[in-house]
Structure 1
Amino acid sequence: MSHDRLLRALRREPVDVTPVWLMRQAGRYLPEYRALREKAGSFMDLCQNPELACEVTLQPLRRFELDGAILFSDILTIPEAMGLGLHFIPGEGPNFHHPVRTPEDIAKLSMPDMEDSLGYVPAAVRLIRRELDGKTPLIGFAGSPWTLATYMVEGGPSKTYQHIKALMYNAPEALHQLMDLLARSVAAYLNAQIAAGAQAVQIFDTWGGVLTPSAYQEFSLTYMQRIVEQLQPAPDGSTVPVILFTKGGGPWLESMAATGCHALGLDWTINIDEARERVGDKVALQGNLDPAMLYARPEIIRHHVGDVLQRFGDHPGHVFNLGHGVTPQVNPDHVAALVDAVHELSAR
């Protein structure tokens, strides 16, 4: 790699400046993305076309001096490949025609074939790696078993998590069966991305924070740890760094750091200096500017970037990111201000 500060930071090695990439750095806030999506026809058409997924992945790198590219895809590709009928409702988000609500529904599920049903993802990874030509590391990703199950059981986004929590309390054995299936599927999916060339991977546990501490350990973290343990080296034999990100996971950082992952993604509800004090030098830390900060003026963004950098301090193992993804209404010039501020202020 001619530009590997992201990978070095994930390994807690010294870097010249703090690396930065952003969750949802490719997406609806970019006019070039909106134009391509309109041309493609739908979001899933973009995801399932390797050439278009490659183009979307590269779009933000042409605008900003980012230190990592992240594969353009969706966390729900695995349940979509299981035949649950994924579709997107405007103003509401992802939904499934066939939600999984009962132990009988769960018993009918099986692992998707990684080549036949999901082969477009590693195909996109190979194409992106070729286009990046060693200039920028590529991050692969997947949703956590708990987060995937939440969408599969609820049938779409939820504010109450009525169906999956009822399943968790009334039929825990069935939910464990679903979690086991999803953990094996996610591990195989990430290994396919690694074999195709992903140089780091992130597990997105978007809804882990809605669980009680004991339920988080039993139904989310346990299965993420199983995934970490099943991940394979890169084709050249090198270790591929694994980032765990639980939105709302601040109470459980020590347990997360003990899974064998290499880095923890932090949301904006915890100060990064507190997180570093709690996990010590076990893992790198990624984060954690409030995504809403990108609505502020560039000079305000710069000030708060400096605050995050100062809180982390002069230690190895920091990857700058938001506490969650870039939102569609953000001005791209504000993203540029953030990226430039990270590099300029951390260089000092």
Structure 2
Amino acid sequence: MFPELKNDLILRAAKGEKVERPPVWIMRQAGRYLPEYKQFKGNDDFFDLCRTPEKAATITIQPIDHYPGLIDAAIIFNDILVIPQALGMTVEMKENVGPSFPDPLRVPSDINKLNFNPDVKKELGWALEAITLTRHRLAGRVPLLGFVGAPWTLLVYMIEGGGTKMFRFVKEWIFTYPEECHKLLDLLTSTCVDFLVEQVRAGAQMVQVFESWASELGPIDFNEFSLPYLKRIAIEVPKKLQSLGIEPVPMTVFAKGAWYALKDLDQTNYDVISLDWLYDPALARSNSTKSLQGNIDPGLMYGSDEAITKRVEQMITGFGKQKYIVNFGHGTHPFMDPKKIEWFLKEVHRVGKEAN
């Protein structure tokens, strides 16, 4: 049994229920910019932190402690690239560089290197332990969120071998080897579904699917290589949970840069659509029936308090108080001042309470 939940604001907002103020959390709120994270991490390898439940739980809770009463959800400290690891690929996190695959998929025959029947509970059991431990340690203060990277985004990393500006290799694949791409996307989708289901069984109370590289697909290619797989996840996760006698949890989709896809995403089974800063809040609201999340430009945290206040007021006015979750339009940066983020959070509370 888990401790009783004391703050269910984000769960109610996700379901479209009436709330007293819009809830708020921040993508990549655990780690990176927090001084206590940098001290705690020391010289430890990033993935070693993720794979050690005690450490992952500590890092997950750090922002909840750092900003007492200001954040309405914790998100488990982990990484989207643990799924390629579960499929048999090696992924390293290099300091000041980011993720790196020493042996990426470069030709179709490389698919044979992958494990097409992964045991998610075995391969990612440490992540599930971290969720259960964190849920207990949160003591019901806020809900705990789980997540996965979306299939297209994972495919990009697996083929490119890391972050990229050119997308040379993955574009070669989708335009030369589409059949093999769909085979991989199908595998990734099934694995994402299994991992999300296990995260909920372990204690996650809401989950998010990160389609971080959606911006690299135009509308036609998004409809072929991303949207069908996003739809499958939103259908299959609740179905599997129900078959296990478990109540489905709210699900969020974040397709960064896919501004053209809002109406299509609105027709999916996701409860929440998370938006980046390319969207005008009022226009997004008028084009969606679902709960929305977002969408402050993270770079605003380098600005003045006055600039932050002005943008928070504009954002909440545009989205409205109901069916809305305040967040950044992407993740925090390592260089951000925690005091600026505190100002942002406090202004969200102030404006959110005053909004009609």
Gaps of 5+ in 2: none
User: Equivalent of 1:21, from 15, 22, 25?
Assistant: 25
Q: Return the alpha-carbon distance in structure 2 between the equivalents of residues 329 and 111 of structure 1.
A: 40
Letter in 2 for 1:52: K
Q: Return the alpha-carbon distance in structure 1 between the equivalents of residues 286 and 148 of structure 2.
A: 28
Instruction: Check the 8 A contact 1:106/1:177 in 2, yes or no.
Output: no
Letter in 2 for 1:311: G
Q: Confirm whether residue 271 of structure 1 aligns to residue 280 of structure 2.
A: yes
Q: Return the alpha-carbon distance in structure 2 between the equivalents of residues 43 and 276 of structure 1.
A: 38
Q: Return the alpha-carbon distance in structure 1 between the equivalents of residues 150 and 329 of structure 2.
A: 17
What is the CA deviation profile of residues 239-268 of structure 1, one whole-angstrom value per residue up to 9, with x for unaligned ones? 311100011011110111112100100000
Q: Return the alpha-carbon distance in structure 1 between the equivalents of residues 39 and 161 of structure 2.
A: 29
What is the CA deviation profile of residues 84-104 of structure 1, one whole-angstrom value per residue up to 9, with x for unaligned ones? 211122322101111012221
User: Residue in 2 aligned with 1:44?
Assistant: 47
Gaps of 5+ in 1: none
Q: Return the alpha-carbon distance in structure 2 between the equivalents of residues 319 and 192 of structure 1.
A: 25
User: Residue in 2 aligned with 1:61?
Assistant: 64
What is the CA deviation profile of residues 124-172 of structure 1, one whole-angstrom value per residue up to 9, with x for unaligned ones? 1100110112220011000000000100001111111111110111110
Give the RMSD, CA atoms, in angstroms: 1.3
Please state whether the residue corresponding to 2:120 is helix, strand or coil: coil
Identity %: 39
Instruction: Check the 8 A contact 1:66/1:339 in 2, yes or no.
Output: yes
Please state whether the residue corresponding to 1:203 is helix, strand or coil: strand
Q: Confirm whether residue 249 of structure 1 aligns to residue 249 of structure 2.
A: no
Q: Confirm whether residue 346 of structure 1 aligns to residue 355 of structure 2.
A: no
Q: CA deviation at 1:17?
A: 1.1
Worse overlay, 54-63 or 87-96: 87-96
User: Residue in 1 aligned with 2:225?
Assistant: 219
Q: Return the alpha-carbon distance in structure 2 between the equivalents of residues 237 and 190 of structure 1.
A: 13
Worse overlay, 204-213 or 84-93: 84-93
Q: CA deviation at 1:227?
A: 1.0
The alpha-carbon distance between structure 1 residues 266 and 9, as it changes in their structure 2 partners (threshold 3 A), is: same
TM-score for the superposition, normalised by structure 1 = 0.96
User: Residue in 2 aligned with 1:301?
Assistant: 308
Q: Return the alpha-carbon distance in structure 2 between the equivalents of residues 60 and 48 of structure 1.
A: 20
User: Residue in 1 aligned with 2:104?
Assistant: 99
Q: Confirm whether residue 288 of structure 1 aligns to residue 295 of structure 2.
A: yes
Instruction: Check the 8 A contact 2:277/2:295 in 1, yes or no.
Output: yes
Q: Return the alpha-carbon distance in structure 2 between the equivalents of residues 298 and 81 of structure 1.
A: 43
Please state whether the residue corresponding to 2:295 is helix, strand or coil: coil
Q: Confirm whether residue 200 of structure 1 aligns to residue 206 of structure 2.
A: yes
Please state whether the residue corresponding to 1:326 is helix, strand or coil: coil
User: Residue in 1 aligned with 2:318?
Assistant: 311
Instruction: Check the 8 A contact 2:88/2:113 in 1, yes or no.
Output: no
Please state whether the residue corresponding to 2:148 is helix, strand or coil: strand
Q: Confirm whether residue 76 of structure 1 aligns to residue 81 of structure 2.
A: yes
User: Equivalent of 1:170, from 176, 186, 193?
Assistant: 176
Letter in 2 for 1:73: N
Instruction: Check the 8 A contact 1:78/1:112 in 2, yes or no.
Output: no
Worse overlay, 234-243 or 331-340: 234-243
Q: CA deviation at 1:236?
A: 7.0
Q: Return the alpha-carbon distance in structure 1 between the equivalents of residues 314 and 158 of structure 2.
A: 39
Q: Return the alpha-carbon distance in structure 2 between the equivalents of residues 199 and 88 of structure 1.
A: 28
Please state whether the residue corresponding to 1:301 is helix, strand or coil: helix
Please state whether the residue corresponding to 2:311 is helix, strand or coil: helix
Q: CA deviation at 1:238?
A: 2.8
Q: CA deviation at 1:57?
A: 0.3
